[in-house]
Structure 1
Amino acid sequence: MVFLRASGRFQVQVSVLTGQGVMGNYNMHTTVKVVHNGKVYEVPALTGNALKHWHSVHAAKAYEALGGKQLNEFCRKGVGLRGKDMNGNDADSESVAIEDFCNDLHGFLIPKKQIKRDSLVKFAFGIPVLTPEVLESVSKFAVTHNRVDPTQKGQTGEMMVFRQEYASGYLYGFAVSMDLDYLMTPIYESLKEGGSSNKSVDAAEKARRAKAAFAGLISTVTGGYGSKAARALPISSLKEMVVALSPKPIPQLVHGAYDNYIEKSIDVLKAYLAIVGGNAHVICYGVTCPEAERSAGKAEKSGANIEVKNVDKLEELASTVLDLIKKYIEETPETKK
């Protein structure tokens, strides 16, 4: 069983995080209102849906690079059309649909057949860190572009001018939840049948899909997003990231936009595990987690255990997470070696 939670912060410059729409020849950037200390700020944002889309694109590429073969053409080409079987037709069942990696990981809905699957990956909005200094420094501005119309050669319409809004921000926070335990496992079909599925799962394929999901996350938060990437790739830098893994379901980590989100996240995990028992691993990249100095914190009477580790390099974060994913999957009873 693998349940992964992550939150962190990245810096972004001159990027279209999420497009909002077009008015004439003016392309707008999505903005949201956030409240801090009783004051309302309107800031450029990165929607959870946009992050989810780009994660599916990068995860599919990682899955294929890892040797994965179970992708339909929509998944392979980064088209967010879900619910198709391996031949590109509407799937007849959840079991058939989740043979495709994207359907399995990111869910789907086929209204005509009343077949659905919730996404195993859920992203929060990416918003500026909630401090006055950061919120007041975030900016949105328009840049002029020229577009050539090949059908209007020699006429005044040859160059069409349009304006695209971009955003720059010192620090943005993000948060993501991944219930990787349900990979390759029908959810709604088993409920309809009155119990959980007893079908054994290929451990190697499940591990491949879980690894691809995390690789897709790394690729996404290091700049692999942007609704208008055709005009300019995002200028982005991942500053810090905290990943929590457990063989049992665990709460979402505190969003990276909040102050002291790392300490608060560990406190949430401790409180939860003190009630239900179990263990979790927390890996901190780009920031020092004080808990790591105390090695492991054990909740009295419950047997709960949280192991916290600090890493300096993204490669070490990735290798630590992938080792834990492999370990958890191999320990799952229904997976076959």
Structure 2
Amino acid sequence: MKWVSFSARYLVNVEDLNNVESAGNYVRHRRAPIIVKEGNTYTVTYVPAVSGEMIAHGYQMNLVEIAIERNLPVEELAKQGILIKRGAGDSVHKTGCGDKNGSDYELCVIEEDIVEDVAGFLNPDKLVKRTSNIAFSYMIPALDAVKASAVTSQFHVRYATKEMIDKYEKENKNIQSLYNVETASASYVLTGYLNLSNIGVTQNYPVKEVKDKKDREIASLDALMLTLTQFLFGAKRTRFNPLVEIEALVLSVSEKPFNLPPINGDFNDYLNLVKSTADSFSSALEIDRPKIVFYVKGVKGSLSNPVEVFKSVRG
């Protein structure tokens, strides 16, 4: 098994990556409840958040672009940015898998589409489930920076010329209107994993493998690199492109599932904890110690930039 775990921390200012609803002319940012320990007690607080679903969508679209460039299979809907996976009916897909079942059906689907290979699908009619090989947490403020996070609304005016106003007001349409959009700023943390070994391999028995498995593994890792180092996910980028600084990015590669914790508190303490846990993990399972590579701004022994973290893992 080749299991890649990642943990990132970003200083993000003025973002609207994930709004959830509008009430009249007010657009709300997503929030999530988290538990914070203060002394000997725990308190609940609501903080700005970006859902794992939003981040996973960005990752999958980055994967689509890379796959197209490298002539790896991508389903037609995915090429259009429509990530509809196989479900109870395959009629919306251009597929040749309809008459297959079990492992043969799963193999056929992943041979047609790298997105469903990496990110999974579920077809109840075929009794075939493929668990996603990529996972993302919600992106939330680091526990040591919760009090420094903020959500506030920004005032905007949708402008129109006098001629347009005169025309549409006769039809009772207010085309020049006021509206407010919530934006958030925080030191965010994000974690997740990528199971490279299960890419290009069926999860239903008998186990079968695609011919271009290695190319798919590299493409999935490169898509993750673009997603995390270039912050390529989220909505409202054209007018609310956030100001982002990568504070830390840590990756581990292991032969069994070894998942990195979120980067909270002092960076040196965090790295010492990860290294100690990796030692205990490898000793308990009698396997090779997970390989850990990291970029942490201003910390001795760190790689010089986040992209080098992925170059090291890929190499």
**With structure 2 as the length reference, what TM-score do the two structures score?**
0.82
Question: What root-mean-square deviation, in Å, do the aligned CA atoms of Structure 1 and Structure 2 show?
Answer: 2.7
Within the alignment, does 1:62 sit opposite 2:66 as a pair? yes
Change (3 A) 1:85 1:23: same
Q: Paired residue for 1:172, among 188, 192, 205?
A: 188
* Aligned position for 1:312: 304
Given that 2:133 and 2:195 are in contact with CA atoms closer than 8 Å, whether structure 1 keeps it comes out as: yes
- Name the structure 1 match of 2:133: 120
Structure 2: distance between partners of 1:149 and 1:208 = 51
Measured after TM superposition, the shift of residue 31 of structure 1 is 0.8
**2:283 aligned with 1:274, yes or no?**
yes
Work out which structure has the larger RCO, using CA pairs closer than 8 Å and 6 or more positions apart in sequence: 2
AA partner of residue 295 (structure 2): Y
Is the partner of 1:70 in helix, strand or coil? coil
The alpha-carbon distance between structure 1 residues 315 and 123, as it changes in their structure 2 partners (threshold 3 A), is closer
Looking at structure 1, the residues matched to 263 and 217 of structure 2 have their Cα atoms a distance apart, in angstroms, of: 23
1:213 aligned residue (212, 220, 242):
220
Q: Provide the secondary structure at the position in 1 that maps to 2:240.
A: coil
Distance in 2 of aligned mates of 1:129 and 1:220: 20
Segments of 5+ residues of structure 2 without an aligned counterpart are 99-104
Q: Distance in 2 between matches of 1:68 and 1:6?
A: 27
What is the aligned counterpart of 1:261 among 266, 270, 283?
Answer: 270
User: Deviations for 1:66-101, whole angstroms, at most 9, x for unmatched residues?
Assistant: x13300122223322112699535954211211211
**Amino acid corresponding to residue 253 of structure 2 in structure 1:** L
Per-residue CA distance 1:255-296 (angstroms, 9 max, x = gap)? 124654333222222222111122221111135888x7xxxx
- By how many angstroms is 1:136 displaced? 1.3
Specify the SS of the correspondent of 2:143: coil
Greater displacement, 34-43 / 87-96? 87-96
Cα distance, 1:217–1:237 mapped onto 2, change above 3 Å: farther
Q: After the TM superposition, list the runs of 4 or more consecutive aligned residues in structure 1 that deviate by more than 6 angstroms.
A: none
Deviations 1:8-45 (A, max 9, x none): 21111111132222222221111112222223322101
Deviates more, 1:250-259 or 1:271-280: 250-259
Matched residues in 2 for 1:258 and 1:113: separation?
Answer: 47
Assess if the C-alpha contact under 8 Å between 1:70 and 1:101 holds in 2: yes
Q: CA deviation at 1:161?
A: 3.3
Three-state SS of the structure 1 residue aligned to 2:129 is strand
1:52 maps onto 2:56 in alignment:
yes
| 2:107 alignment counterpart | 95
Aligned counterparts of 2:146 and 2:246: Cα–Cα separation in 1: 18
Letter in 2 for 1:116: K
Match of 2:124 in 1: 111
**Counterparts of 2:245 and 2:79 in 1: how far apart (Å)?**
27
Q: CA deviation at 1:116?
A: 2.1
Contact preservation (8 Å) 1:127, 1:257: no
Aligned partner letter, 2:198 = Y
Shift in Å, 1:122: 0.7
Which residue identity does 1:96 align to in structure 2?
C
Cα offset, 1:149, TM superposition = 9.1
Query: How much identity, in percent, do the aligned residues show?
Result: 21
1:114, distance to aligned residue in structure 2 (A): 3.2
**Count of residue pairs the alignment pairs up:** 290
Q: Choose which of 143, 147, 159 in structure 2 pairs with 1:130.
A: 143
Structure 1, gaps ≥5 residues long: 191-195, 293-309, 324-337
Q: Is the 8 A contact 1:15 1:226 kept in 2?
A: no
1:161 is aligned to 2:178: yes
Maintained 8 Å contact 2:17/2:237: no
Q: What secondary structure, in the 3-state scheme, does the structure 2 residue paired with 1:265 have?
A: helix
Change (3 A) 1:141 1:124: same
Partner residue in 1 for 2:102: none
SS class of match (1:311): coil
Amino acid corresponding to residue 147 of structure 2 in structure 1: E
Q: Is the 2:13–2:242 Cα contact (8 Å) retained in structure 1?
A: yes
- Tell me the TM-score normalized by structure 1: 0.77
> Shift of residue 180 of structure 1?
1.2
**Cα gap change, 1:140 to 1:288, in 2 (>3 Å):** closer
Report the more deviating stretch, 55-64 or 79-88.
79-88
Distance 1:115 1:173 in 2: 34
CA distance in 2, matches of 1:23, 1:95: 45
Q: Deviations over 1:181-226 (max 9, x none)?
A: 0111110x21xxxxx51x4543xx3232222222222222232122
Q: CA deviation at 1:105?
A: 0.5
